[in-house]
Amino acid sequence: EDQVTQSPEALRLQEGESSSLNCSYTVSGLRGLFWYRQDPGKGPEFLFTLYSAGEEKEKERLKATLTKKESFLHITAPKPEDSATYLCAVQVRGSQGNLIFGKGTKLSVKP
């Protein structure tokens, strides 16, 4: 069964304290791995797409990496406005573009 597991469930950081979020996946064939940010009561907001092991993408304080079994979202010197739930999702080869989501990591950054 295709599965996505994210850890930790929740992460509390001080402003400026860098850390990483993990997304491990078990799929029959990976078409793409996606990172989204979700604020309370809002829809997922697209951050990154990764397609193959070794690929990296960066945007401001965020950097996403991909291996054959997992992806990491590295947050460098986070600010309070980075507080949100970060969702990882995979698209399986042969599907029609639908995404399998993990439960997410709720990040809180305190000033």
Partner 1 sequence: EPEVTQTPSHQVTQMGQEVILRCVPISNHLYFYWYRQILGQKVEFLVSFYNNEISEKSEIFDDQFSVERPDGSNFTLKIRSTKLEDSAMYFCASRARQGAFMNTEAFFGQGTRLTVV
Among the listed ranges 10-18, 64-72, 73-81, 100-108, the one in contact with partner 1 (CB under 8 A) is 100-108
**Neighbour count for residue 36 (Cβ, 10 Å):** 19
Find the helix or strand (DSSP H, E) in which 64 lies: strand 62-66
Burial letters 49-85, b for 16+ CB under 10 A, else e: ebeeeeeeeeeeebbbbbeeebbbbebeebeeebbbb
Per the listing, tokens 């295709």 go with: 2
Is 23 near partner 1 (CB under 8 A)?
no
27 binds partner 1 (CB under 8 A): no
Q: What is the CA radius of gyration of the chain?
A: 13
Among 19, 49, 76, 83, indicate the residue that binds partner 1 (CB under 8 A).
49
Options 16-24, 56-64, 68-76, 99-107: segment touching partner 1 (CB under 8 A): 99-107
Near partner 1 by CB under 8 A: residue from 10, 15, 16, 45: 45
Nearest residue (CB) to partner 1, 44 versus 78: 44
Residues within the interface to partner 1 (CB under 8 A) = 31-32, 34, 36, 41-46, 49, 51, 87, 89, 91, 95-104
